[in-house]
Amino acid sequence: MKALIETRNTRSEQIFLVGVELKSRNGGWETDDSLDELAELAATAGGKVVGDGVQKMESPHAATFIGKGKADEFAAICRTQGVDTVIFDDELSPAQSRNLEKLFNCKVLDRTSLILDIFAQRARSREGKLQIELAQLQHLLPRLTRFWGHLSRQKGGIGMRGGEGETQLETDRRRVQDRIAKIRVELDVVRRQRLTQRQARQRNRWPLASIVGYTNAGKSTLLNRLTGADVLAENRLFATLDPTTRRLRLPSNQNVLLTDTVGFIRKLPHGLVEAFKATLEEVVKADLLLHIVDVSHPKAEEQIQSVDAVLKEIGADGKPTLMVFNKIDRLKGSPEKLARFLDRHPKGVAISAENGDGIDQLLAELGSQLRPAREFMELSVPQEKAGVIARLHEVGEIIERRYNGRTARFKARVPQHFHHEFEQFLVRHLQAV
Ligand SMILES: Nc1nc2c(ncn2[C@@H]2O[C@H](COP(=O)(O)OP(=O)(O)OP(=O)(O)O)[C@@H](O)[C@H]2O)c(=O)[nH]1
Ligand SMILES: [Mg+2]
């Protein structure tokens, strides 16, 4: 299948950034910090930022987001600077994008489409590529729909099918929809293959720990250090898109599976989170999250909050989480900064994934958090729950069974990550059997 969307090549494009300061928001992020991050994203995509502007306002304007006067003012600057692309720090509605494109007379993007572009440039695996294309097409479709609806109204009303209602846009829209349907089918196949792999892994009954964190926090560097994996780690946003899982043998001799996956960012487009939900299953299914934080970043605390927000969105909030404060080698001059984090998260571990400081402590903490002491369960299952009993035999190791009338009582060793399946039949946890 050929992709419908070609990845935009923003190399050497001259870029102008637009931020807004709304009275109503900015949870800890100043507009300037947010624009700095947007500039980094633009550079990551291969563009050259030649200027930026900020509009202060009560609330966005429906037609032009920043208001026509301000847009004209910025447009004049852009003309003198030879700007090819204007990027807004906030998501624009289809109508706003169209109106602004006319006013600026050049390409207008928002943060969402920029992030989508970067993901498209980065995607390597079949699944990653399909997921990102799906997110791009879904982002595009309402834009086509609005425009097409507008055209068809001119020709006599919405709801016309085929015949004289056929316009180029309608054809385009259908192509997009067809493509979306095809991608869904193909994704299904790819994901089923991955599921088979995971089931094979689950038979190993090793607990799964997932490394999560803001983009560029050092997730891949940590996976590489701990497992000798060879994942690309570099100083740019979204270096990793596809998850990598490796086995880690703890000093306690326990085996753990460790997964590194895509980084999070503030205002991560919802469609993208949706599209990557399957990839992020490793996070949702994990027994333990390692939330890794770049403590040398000036906005580290806000980044923690953004990561928590995405975790919530994918349904992984409330999971046992170990805070890992990374890049402490960069804090040599200001120990009070690290102390502040450890104050707030007393169970956190401070490390440098780069030079290995604190790694021993991290391994010890991992061992104790994933300690198998609670692996043993005493269960009471009604005989008619044949599925549950079969499942218990499949994933657990039965140490003792007693049939008592209509219920079966088991003492079994069940890996922690399957406990939730049997929680409702739990009599008690056993220390050891
Ligand atoms: N000084 C220092 N740099 C680090 C440390 N850990 C990682 N880095 C650097 O930080 C940058 C990002 O590291 P990655 O491991 O790629 O980060 P990531 O979280 O996987 O990032 P994405 O995959 O892009 O989301 C790289 O340049 C690393 O060399 C550390 O402990 N100290
Ligand atoms: Mg990475």
pLDDT digit string (tens) for 378-396?
999 999 999 999 999 988 8
Of ligand 1's listed atoms, the one at least distance from the Cα of 217 is 19
Q: Has residue 330 got a pLDDT over 90?
A: yes
Give all strands (DSSP E) within 138-262, no chain letters: 208-213, 244-249, 255-260
Of residues 168 and 112, more confidently modeled: 112
pLDDT confidence band for 25 (50 / 70 / 90):
low
> What pLDDT digit, counting tens, does each position of 184-224 carry?
999 999 888 877 776 666 655 678 899 999 999 999 999 99
Burial of 47 (0-12, 13-18, 19+ CB in 10 A): buried
Percent of the chain with pLDDT over 70: 86
pLDDT band at 145 (very low <50, low <70, confident <90, very high): very low
What is the maximum alpha-carbon separation in the chain?
A: 87
Highest mean pLDDT among 118-127, 280-289, 317-326, 408-417: 317-326
Q: How far is ligand 2, taken at its centre, from the CA of residue 214, in Å?
A: 10
Q: What is the mean pLDDT of residues 261-286?
A: 82
51-60, 106-115, 306-315: lowest mean pLDDT where? Answer: 106-115
Tell me the pLDDT band of 148, cut-offs 50, 70 and 90: very low
Q: State the pLDDT at residue 152.
A: 32
What is the mean predicted confidence (pLDDT) over 154-163?
30
**240, 87 Cβ separation under 8 angstroms:** no
Ligand 1: which of 124, 215, 219, 221 to mutate, most ligand atoms within 8 Å of CB? 221
Which residue, 205, 212, 191, is CA-closest to 263? 212
Least confident segment among 193-197, 264-268, 294-298, 427-431: 193-197
Matching residue, tokens 């994934």: 353
C-alpha span between 373 and 384 (Å, rounded): 30
Closest protein CA for atom 25 of ligand 1: 215
Query: For ligand 2, a single-atom ion, which residues have Cβ within 5 Å?
Result: 219-220, 239-240
Ligand 1 atom closest to the CA of 241, numbered from 1: 23
Query: Cα(327) to centroid of ligand 1, in Å?
Result: 8
Please state, in angstroms and as integers, the Cα–Cα distance from residue 103 to each residue in 68, 107, 224, 323, following that order: 8, 10, 48, 47
Q: Which residues in 46-145 belong to E strands, given as ranges? A: 48-57, 85-88, 107-110
**What pLDDT digit, counting tens, does each position of 354-377 carry?**
999 999 999 999 988 886 655 789
**Average pLDDT over the chain, rounded to an integer:** 84
